[in-house]
Amino acid sequence: MSTIAAVSTPNAPGGIAVIRISGEGAIETAEKIFRPFNVKSVSEMPGYTCAYGIAHDDDERIDDCILTIFRSPHSFTGEDVAEISCHGGLYVSRKILRAALKNGAENAEAGEFTKRAFLNGKIDLTQAEAVMDIISAKSEAELNNAEFLREGAIFRTAEKCSGRLLYLLSGIAAWTDYPDEDIPEVEPDNLREELYEIRSELYSLIRNYDSGRIIREGISAAIVGRPNVGKSTLFNCLSGFERSIVTDIAGTTRDAVEETVRLGDIVLRLTDTAGIHETEDIIEGKGIDIAEKIAQNSELIIAVFDGNCPLTEDDFDLINKFKNKNSIAVINKTDLEQTIDSEYINNNFIQTVYLSAKDNSGSDELKAAIEKIFNISPDFFASATASNERQRSCISRAVQNIDSAISALDNGEFLDAVNVVLDEAEQNLLELTGKKITESVVDEVFSHFCVGK
């Protein structure tokens, strides 16, 4: 494969920048643009060693740098790799990259280093995807899962299950050739037991997928309520700064205000909406229509009530509108005397949270209520979980094919029918790890990477 080069550090000034070169000619390119002080020549440097020296473009000195050499196959890509660490300026790092490009390297495409690691058999496709998951992780849970996957948790399970399926398939093939022979593996009871075990191992990888998606992508949530119950105060309290206008004049938030808010590991894509109530005011009425639309399209509704006030007609309308949705009731203003009929609220919502937005209290209780509604448990990512739709789809198809095989056995069908669906399941697992996959899928996976990774 050709020799590629890219700046692997972010496109911003920093302490250090790294220019990565990989491929058959990586060491030769490095030799041409780097003059070491403490070793005789770059080409004689063993793998896993560094040299201090000067990066240059012909006679022009560029910067004092450290060169690290990795020798094939003991590198990330599996190829010879040279990494030059220079001062972290954008101009200086681009200058060294240009020198590398002048001396035998080509510009690397997005994700090309990781793609090469995959193509050279250093990692499977799920581990390659995990590299991107690590880069984009926004929470402890996401990072933990990404690390599981990078260490090969999905790969190992897929390989193990694939091996067991192949063993069964070879048993079925033997039975087809010698139907009179006694082959214990294909006895329906043995076969069924084995398939249940394989199914359960695979299913464990997607059981938490939907809740995992919530952790990765966040939950779209709308704060609704009649005017003056404290929606904007709650919104500001959760988002940590004053975005929404808070006044005691009803109808101040006429448009929707959005913010991404983090509650522990939960990310809320939160919208503060106009107070929903009967009004003659045309502009306010428009705001209320928007609020209702947003609420209907949100995954979570946070319905706010004023604890210091008996329920009003507008409150009752709101309860009727949202009680059957994924909604949490928030009884606000607990710092004041409580005159609200909280029992009525409790009876109409799955979760009720009491808080004082003004005093910044209750966000832990709100978080716990959201975790309950979305089934997010603290040990949620204690085991590996598929991290994207491609992985989920491969695993889920394999599980479905195994289910079909079990049904075929239960219905007393011929082993040929079992054979067909188990072979499909095997293909699904090969697709999962990338052992059997089209070039366009590989390209699609790596198109989400950044240049230099």
- For ligand GDP, the binding residues (CB under 6 A) are 225, 227-233, 246-248, 252-253, 275, 332-333, 335-336, 356-358
By beta carbon distance, the residue nearest ligand GDP is 230
Residue 436: CB minimum distance to ligand GDP, A: 56
Residue 358: CB minimum distance to ligand GDP, A: 3
Cα 352 to the center of its chain, rounded Å: 30
Residue 363: CB minimum distance to ligand GDP, A: 12
Residue 304: CB minimum distance to ligand GDP, A: 6
Smallest CA-to-CA distance from 399 within 432, 377, 438 is with 432
Residue 355: CB minimum distance to ligand GDP, A: 7
Q: Which is nearer to ligand GDP, 157 or 232 (CB)?
A: 232
Distances (CA, A) of 1 to 44, 111, 430: 22, 15, 24
Smallest CA-to-CA distance from 227 within 284, 277, 272, 188 is with 277
Residue 58, exposed/middle/buried by CB under 10 A (0-12, 13-18, 19+)? exposed
Tokens read off for 140:
């402890």
Residue count of the chain: 453
Smallest CA-to-CA distance from 290 within 322, 323, 255 is with 255
Residue 303: CB minimum distance to ligand GDP, A: 11
Q: Provide the angle, in degrees to the nearest 10, between the axes of the packed helices 26-33 and 90-102.
A: 120
Q: Which is nearer to ligand GDP, 186 or 357 (CB)?
A: 357
Residue 323: CB minimum distance to ligand GDP, A: 19
Beta strands at 4-7 and 300-306: parallel, antiparallel or unpaired:
unpaired
Residue 271: CB minimum distance to ligand GDP, A: 12
Q: Which is nearer to ligand GDP, 81 or 268 (CB)?
A: 268
Q: Which is nearer to ligand GDP, 248 or 379 (CB)?
A: 248
Q: Which is nearer to ligand GDP, 8 or 233 (CB)?
A: 233
Beta strands at 106-107 and 300-306: parallel, antiparallel or unpaired:
unpaired
Q: Which is nearer to ligand GDP, 331 or 415 (CB)?
A: 331
DSSP state of 186: G
Q: Provide the angle, in degrees to the nearest 10, between the axes of the packed helices 125-136 and 415-433.
A: 50
Q: Which is nearer to ligand GDP, 171 or 227 (CB)?
A: 227
Tokens read off for 286:
């428009």
Q: Which is nearer to ligand GDP, 36 or 275 (CB)?
A: 275
What backbone torsions phi and psi does residue 36 show, to the nearest 5 degrees? -80, 150
